Amino acid sequence: MITWQNDPDGYLVETITTPGRVLAIAQTDSTRPVQWLSRWIAEGGQEDSARLEPQGNTARVIQGAKAGQGLFIVWARVDGRESNELVLMLLGEAYGSARYGSAVTVEEPISMGNQEQGEIVDGTVPFVLIANGGPDGGPCFQAGTITDRGISQIRFIAPSDGVFTINYKVSSEGAYDFLTGRTQFSEDDLFSISGTVDWSTETAHVVAGEALDVTYTKDGSVSQGEDTGWITVNFLADEGGIPSEIQGQAALLFSASAATLSHIEAVNPDAIQLSGSCVFGFASAAIRLISRKRLKVSTLLRFTAGHSSAKAPAGLQSQLRDEINPLQPDDPDEYLQVWFYGHPQQHTLTARIDDAPAFTPAFTWQNPGTMDPAILKIPISGLPGDGSTHVITISVSQRINGQTSPAASVSVKSRLPMPKPPQPTFVHARLIRQGTEEIPDLVEVTWTASSGVIISANLRPQGWGYGQDPTKLAGKTVKLGYGNESENRMQFEGIGSSFEFATGSESSVFFSVAEIRNNEVGPPLFTLNPLKIRAFKSEAIEPKTPDERVGTAQHMGHNTLRYHVQDGYSGMNATIAATAFDKLLLRIKDIMRKGGTVTVDDLGRFETRWSDRRRVKGPAGTYYTKPAERSVTFIPSIGFKTGTERGRVMTDAEAKALP
């Protein structure tokens, strides 16, 4: 939040006098680094009418050498997010005192007639004013006609501190096509509704110059109901907020529809009803009042016409993420998540691989209707790749009023996989033999594919049924084997023992085949129906080794080995031998923990090794980068290794001397 030092309501009026004079000082209470920005949004003033001089958490507005009349707008950007806007109106000396001044002058009443449907402005369709349809049967605003992924928008600007009262109604596809309202300085929506919702009401207190935005947005498919939204908006100023020259109730009804003015008759002699263009792109506006009450021609009404120029979106960030497919848990789908403040359909998004030409990637809007920020998903598999690591640069620019803003960009490094192989065209599994206590089950899988394949078995949990989401109900997957390009049939034995079945029970097992090409695994094709496979398991008995059978194998612990080192010594010598044994082990451990090595002739080499950092699957099923780790290994000497293989105690020299 930023404010003027001498006027906290965000709206100042100054008269042009001496060049170099400090006209106003903006300030912020943020402790973060601040970027101060400014622009003109009214005609009559030169670009050098005023200039902005940032000074840390304050910024001074200085009158220029060729100052002219106009509106000077100041705002700040902190950590990629933009603040509220402050307005400074510059008036010529002929205006005199301008406490209630404005950029627009009220002229004699002139009727502008009825407003037809608005034009399309840069892909955004304005709301239109209709004579009937309001909550009381009177006039209201209706969202413009839009197609899939379209947006219809309307903006209202408060002329002073006061309260907006908005009535709203929607008839649309539930959970996908939304009518949304939000005030400019709020982080939460006043409302965001879809489906069939009858007239409801919300109120919001706003400050002078604050905007109320209402949008109707559609997703990429399906239209239901009347596929539109309706609103009426009233504004009641706080006490003292409207110029004293305008007498009476001082209630204003704003309406915005396309690029020309329209009107609604006053409801009573004391209520002034105003309608005018608030579509983006006007530097100034001459507002005409239609009222039964006569107004003075000299009256100045404090009203700011909605205006915006194309600006690079704020808050552009990106992050590589993994999406685990339970049917292929070892092959996660990587995607690039991009977010920024703005509506994706009002922005152009491009991707560039290294220095190659930019292109428009396929993306999904993950939080439709939300623009603070909008979150987009760009599949990495959809980008052209060669199996190597590249720099991916995402650029986003705003399109508005026929303008395209400078692009905001963000870059990330990622390995771009080779194109995924196609899905096999056919797969079938046949149960040749059911498992028994004496012999395991036998299954034959046949397929049709254009390259080598990987064959897998997938166990679905109890309660699985067709039409259910396989990513939520998929169970354990077991890789059975691989087939080359010339093969189309393979048999597998003991499928039941690969899963945690109860002995003698039957479970539904699906089989899948996926093509493999250039180390990339394509999408699997599953059998249409599962096989009921019965499992039988018996306890395995490990056979004894030859050493165990002849009785030469010994199993010693630390204390037993220590005792054998002391054997043959007595008294003090035995104590010294035991102490030397303990210190030897501690010394080896100390050298290992510091990354060193210990080599003992005729025995071997103790060595510290470091692993490479790598991506691993965590307990929750998500992948993360595991840092490099220190480990210890023992490499037996040639005498130790050869002697063990031959059942003898040998020195290194003896082993080397062998033929």
Q: Do the strands 178-183 and 50-55 form a parallel or antiparallel pair, or are they unpaired?
A: unpaired
Whether 393 shows a pLDDT value over 90: the answer reads yes
Tell me yes or no: is domain 595-654 CATH 4.10.520.10: yes
At 67, is the pLDDT very low, low, confident or very high (cuts 50, 70, 90)? confident
Highest mean pLDDT among 158-162, 233-237, 261-265, 317-321: 317-321
Residue 561: which H helix or E strand, with range? Answer: helix 558-566
Query: Is a pLDDT exceeding 80 seen at residue 407?
Result: yes
In angstroms, the CA 150 to CA 184 distance is 22
Average pLDDT in the 568-597 region? 87
pLDDT at 492: 93
In this predicted model, which residue has the larger pLDDT, 8 or 514?
514
Domains 426-534 and 595-654 share a fold: no
Out of 73-77, 241-245, 393-397, 474-478, the most confident range is: 393-397
Q: Which runs of E-coded beta strand occur in 7-122? A: 11-15, 22-28, 35-40, 50-55, 58-63, 70-78, 81-82, 86-91, 104-105
In the predicted model, is pLDDT for residue 418 greater than 50? yes
Please report which helix (H) or strand (E) contains residue 559, including its range.
helix 558-566
Q: What is the pLDDT of residue 303?
A: 32
Per-residue pLDDT, averaged over 294-317, amounts to 48
314-415 carries CATH number 2.60.40: yes
Angle between helices 572-593 and 558-566 (to 10 degrees): 130
Residue 168 has pLDDT above 90, yes or no: yes
- Where do the domains of the chain lie? 2-99, 124-301, 314-415, 426-534, 595-654
Q: Encoding tokens for residue 290? A: 């239609």
**What is the pLDDT at residue 515?**
92
Which position has the higher pLDDT, 366 or 162?
366
pLDDT for 92: 61
Q: Which is more confident, 142 or 137?
A: 142
Q: What band does 613 get if pLDDT is binned at 50, 70 and 90?
A: confident
Cβ pair 526, 511 in contact under 8 A: yes
Q: How far apart are CA 345 and CA 324, in angstroms?
A: 29
Please provide the average confidence, as pLDDT, over all residues in the chain: 75
Contact partners, residue 305, CB within 8 Å, separation at least 6: 103, 104, 157, 276, 277, 278, 282, 284, 285, 287
* In contact, 228 and 193? CB cutoff 8 Å: no
Positive or negative: CA dihedral 148, 154, 155, 156 = negative
| Range with the largest mean pLDDT of 68-72, 101-105, 346-350 | 346-350
* CATH superfamily to which 2-99 belongs: Immunoglobulins (2.60.40.10)
Q: Is the pLDDT of residue 342 over 70?
A: yes
Residue matched to tokens 């950092």: 613
pLDDT, position 240 = 46
The answer, yes or no, to whether residue 121 has pLDDT greater than 60, is no
What is the radius of gyration, based on Cα positions, of the chain? 38
- φ, ψ of residue 201 to 5 degrees: the values are -135, 140
What average pLDDT does this structure show over 459-471?
A: 56
How much is the pLDDT for 373? 80
What does the block give as tokens for 316? Answer: 């552009």
Q: Which range has the worst mean pLDDT, 32-46, 217-231, 473-487, 555-569?
A: 32-46
Range scoring the smallest mean pLDDT among 57-66, 377-386, 435-444:
377-386
Which pLDDT value is given to residue 463? 53
Q: Tell me the mean pLDDT in the region 182-203.
A: 88
CA distance 128 to 278: 12
pLDDT of residue 502: 62
pLDDT at 267: 32
Is residue 123 scored above 50 in pLDDT?
no
Distances in Å between the Cα of 190 and the Cα atoms of 129, 165, 170, 262 are 22, 11, 15, 27
pLDDT band, residue 491 (cuts 50/70/90): very high
What's the average model confidence in pLDDT over 133-138? 83
pTM of the model: 0.32
Q: How far apart are CA 539 and CA 517, in angstroms?
A: 40
Cα-Cα-Cα-Cα dihedral of 357, 358, 362, 364, to 10°? 160
Residue 117 has pLDDT above 80, yes or no: no
Q: Which two tokens stand for residue 39?
A: 């622009």
Both tokens assigned to 588? 């080896």
Kindly tell me if the per-residue pLDDT of 296 is higher than 90. no
Which pair of tokens denotes residue 394?
A: 């995402």
- Strand order of the β-sheet with 191-193 is 124-126, 151-157, 211-217, 178-183, 191-193
**567 Cβ contact partners less than 8 Å away, ≥ 6 residues apart:** none
What values do phi and psi take at 411, rounded to 5?
-125, 150
CATH of 124-301, one of 2.60.40, 1.10.357, 2.60.120, 1.10.287: 2.60.120
CA 328 to chain centre: 24
Angle of CA points 197, 201, 205, to nearest 5°: 140
Per-residue pLDDT band at 548 (split at 50, 70, 90):
confident
598 confidence band (pLDDT: 50, 70, 90): very high
In SS3 terms, 213-274 reads as: EEEEECCCCCCCCCCEEEEEEEEEECCCCCCCCCCCCCEECCCCCCCCCCCCCCCCCCCCEC
CATH of domain 426-534: 2.60.40.10
H runs (alpha helix) in 88-146: none
Q: Average the pLDDT over 310-321 and give the result.
A: 82
Q: Do residues 444 and 432 lie in contact, with contact meaning Cβ atoms separated by under 8 Å?
A: yes
Torsion of CA 472, 475, 481, 485, to 10 degrees: -20
Which tokens go with 341? Answer: 């403040």
Kind and range of the H or E element at 209? none
